[in-house]
Structure 1
Amino acid sequence: MNAAPSLRIAFFTECYHPIVNGIVAAVDGLAGALRTRGHSVAMFTPRFPATSAGEEMQIYRMPSLPLPMPTEYRLTLPVVARRNRVTVLARCSLIHTHSPFITGWMGAHYARRFGVPLVFTYHTRLDRYAHYAPIDPDVARRLAAILTRTYANAADAVTVPTRDIESQLRAVGVTARIEVIPSGVALEPFAHVEPTPSGRARLGGNGPGLRLLTVSRLAQEKNLGLLLAMLSHLPDDATLAFAGDGPERERLEGAARAAGLAGRARFLGEVASEDLPGLYASADAFVFSSTSETQGLVLVEAMAAGLPVVAIEAPQTREVTKGAAHLCPGDAQAMAEAVRGVAGDGEEGRRLRELGRLTAQDYELTRIAGRIEGLYRELRREPLVPAAG
Structure 2
Amino acid sequence: MRIGFFSDRYLPFTDGIACSMEDARRELEDLGHEVYIFAPSPDRRYCEQAPRVTRFPAVKGICFDDYRFSVFYPPRTRRQVDKLELDLVHFHTPGQIGMFGAYYARRYDLPLVTTYHTDLYEYVTHYPGVLPGVVALSILAPYVTGGGSGERRISRSCVRPERSIDRWNQKVVERGMTLIHNSCDLVITPSVKMTAQLGGWNTTSRIATLPSGVDEIPSTAAGVAAARRELGIGEDEQVVLYVGRIGSEKNLSLLIDAFTHVARRGDRARLVLIGPGDEDDKFRAQAAATACADRITFTGRKNRADLGAYYSLADVFAFPSTCDTQALVVNEAAWAATPVVMVDRNISQIVEDGVSGLFADGTPEDFSEKISVLLDDPQRAVAMGRAGRERAAKLTARTQAAKLSRLYEETASRYAPTLETSGVEADVEVEVEEARAAA
TM-score by length of 1: 0.90
Residue number in structure 2 paired with 1:280 = 311
Letter in 2 for 1:170: G
Residue number in structure 1 paired with 2:393 = 361
Check conservation: 2:43, 2:58, Cα contact below 8 A. Answer: no
Check conservation: 1:162, 1:320, Cα contact below 8 A. Answer: no
Give the aligned CA root-mean-square deviation in angstroms: 2.3
Q: How does 1:309-388 map to 2 (within 5 A)?
A: 309-317=340-348, 319-323=349-353, 324-343=356-375, 346-381=378-413, 382-385=419-422
Letter in 2 for 1:245: P
Check conservation: 1:295, 1:320, Cα contact below 8 A. Answer: no
Letter in 2 for 1:162: S
Is 1:99 equivalent to 2:93 in the alignment?
yes
Q: CA deviation at 1:132?
A: 2.1
Letter in 1 for 2:385: R
Structure 1 or 2: more helix by fraction: 2
Residue number in structure 1 paired with 2:41 = 47
The 1:337/1:86 distance shift into structure 2, 3 A limit, reads: closer
The 1:133/1:219 distance shift into structure 2, 3 A limit, reads: same
Check conservation: 2:410, 2:423, Cα contact below 8 A. Answer: no
Unmatched tracts of structure 2, length 5 or more? 132-164, 414-418, 426-439
Deviations 1:254-291 (A, max 9, x none): 11111133321111111112211111111111100101
Residue number in structure 2 paired with 1:197 = 225
Structure 2 residue corresponding to 1:133, chosen from 128, 142, 165: 128
Is 1:153 equivalent to 2:165 in the alignment?
no
Residue number in structure 2 paired with 1:143 = 172
Distance 1:344 1:359 in 2: 24
Distance 2:92 2:83 in 1: 16
Distance 1:246 1:104 in 2: 23
Is 1:108 equivalent to 2:102 in the alignment?
yes
Is 1:184 equivalent to 2:216 in the alignment?
no
Residue number in structure 2 paired with 1:171 = 200
Q: CA deviation at 1:204?
A: 4.5
Distance 1:87 1:290 in 2: 38
Is 1:270 equivalent to 2:301 in the alignment?
yes
Distance 1:193 1:304 in 2: 14
Structure 2 residue corresponding to 1:61, chosen from 44, 55, 69: 55
Letter in 1 for 2:380: E
Structure 1 residue corresponding to 2:241, chosen from 213, 222, 241: 213
Residue number in structure 1 paired with 2:28 = 34
Deviations 1:218-268 (A, max 9, x none): 011001111111221122331111110101111111111111333211111
Deviations 1:72-124 (A, max 9, x none): 32332341442553456651111110012222211111112232211100100
Distance 1:387 1:365 in 2: 18
Residue number in structure 2 paired with 1:4 = none
Deviations 1:47-79 (A, max 9, x none): 232453526432211123444435432332341
Letter in 2 for 1:155: C
TM-score by length of 2: 0.80
Letter in 2 for 1:16: Y
Mean CA deviation greater in 64-73 or 352-361: 64-73
Distance 1:272 1:309 in 2: 21
Q: Give 3-state SS (helix, strand or coil) of 1:44's partner.
A: strand
Mean CA deviation greater in 237-246 or 108-117: 108-117
Check conservation: 1:203, 1:283, Cα contact below 8 A. Answer: no
Check conservation: 1:129, 1:221, Cα contact below 8 A. Answer: yes
Q: CA deviation at 1:9?
A: 1.1
Check conservation: 1:193, 1:305, Cα contact below 8 A. Answer: no
Deviations 1:154-204 (A, max 9, x none): 1110111122211100111211000111111123x34x7558322333455
Q: Percent identity?
A: 29
Distance 2:171 2:14 in 1: 28
Check conservation: 1:100, 1:147, Cα contact below 8 A. Answer: no
Q: Give 3-state SS (helix, strand or coil) of 1:385's partner.
A: coil
Distance 2:45 2:174 in 1: 32
Distance 2:193 2:96 in 1: 26
Is 1:227 equivalent to 2:222 in the alignment?
no
Count of aligned pairs between the two proteins: 379
Residue number in structure 2 paired with 1:3 = none
Q: CA deviation at 1:367?
A: 0.5
Q: CA deviation at 1:345?
A: 5.7
Q: Give 3-state SS (helix, strand or coil) of 1:199's partner.
A: helix
The 1:314/1:198 distance shift into structure 2, 3 A limit, reads: same
Q: Give 3-state SS (helix, strand or coil) of 1:182's partner.
A: coil
The 1:294/1:89 distance shift into structure 2, 3 A limit, reads: farther
Distance 2:186 2:423 in 1: 21
Check conservation: 2:350, 2:392, Cα contact below 8 A. Answer: no
Unmatched tracts of structure 1, length 5 or more? 1-6
Q: CA deviation at 1:17?
A: 2.9
Q: CA deviation at 1:331?
A: 1.6
The 1:59/1:355 distance shift into structure 2, 3 A limit, reads: same
The 1:56/1:334 distance shift into structure 2, 3 A limit, reads: closer
Distance 1:56 1:315 in 2: 36
